[in-house]
């Protein structure tokens, strides 16, 4: 399911002078759930996506975010045919931790990066672009 472009929706909500709770009520969902959708932590159902679009008088297509390319880590993992659960276990971290790393929500430690690169048969820079520029710790 496609993600909502949270910033576009927030701009439209501001233009209309709606609060999060007013939008949530109009769309028939909880305020907390709406905030998670706007932040990108939750993917709304197609029904909720249509209700949000209707509530702010926007075409559904205008609310949808452009699909993001898979991270280099995900590309390498998929090419190696390793599930995220198996890779997390092999590295010695939880699936949740690994998922946050793969989605770019959390920076991995150098130890984790080294182990991932060794398992995937690549360099650290191949799976973490920040390492290639020297911007990660």
- The pLDDT profile of the chain, 137 residues, written as one tens digit per residue, is 567 777 788 889 999 999 999 999 999 999 999 888 887 777 888 899 899 999 999 888 888 776 556 688 988 998 999 999 999 999 999 999 998 888 877 888 999 999 999 999 999 999 986 665 444 44
CATH of the domain at 84: 1.10.260.40
- 1 belongs to a structural domain: no
| Per-residue pLDDT at 134 | 47
Same domain, 18 and 56: yes
In angstroms, what CA-CA distances link 77 with 48, 64, 118, 123, 129? 32, 27, 12, 13, 15
- 27 belongs to a structural domain: yes
Domain boundary among 46, 63, 80: 63
For residue 13, the enclosing domain spans 6-63
Same domain, 50 and 78: no
Same domain, 93 and 116: yes
With b meaning 16 or more CB within 10 Å and e meaning fewer, what string describes 55-72? bbeeeeeebbeeeeeebb
- 114 belongs to a structural domain: yes
């Amino acid at each position: 399911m496609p993600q909502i472009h949270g910033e576009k929706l927030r701009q439209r909500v501001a233009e209309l002078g709606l609060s999060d709770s007013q939008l949530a009520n109009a769309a028939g969902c909880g305020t907390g759930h709406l905030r998670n959708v706007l932040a990108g932590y939750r993917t709304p159902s197609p029904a909720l996506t249509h209700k949000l679009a209707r509530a702010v008088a926007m075409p559904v297509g205008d609310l949808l975010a452009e699909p993001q390319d898979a991270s280099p880590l995900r590309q390498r993992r998929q090419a190696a045919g390793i599930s995220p659960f198996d890779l997390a276990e092999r590295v010695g971290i939880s699936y949740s931790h690994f998922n946050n790393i793969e989605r770019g929500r959390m920076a991995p430690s150098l130890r984790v990066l080294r182990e991932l690169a060794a398992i995937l048969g690549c360099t650290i820079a191949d799976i973490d672009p920040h390492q290639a520029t020297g911007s990660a710790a």
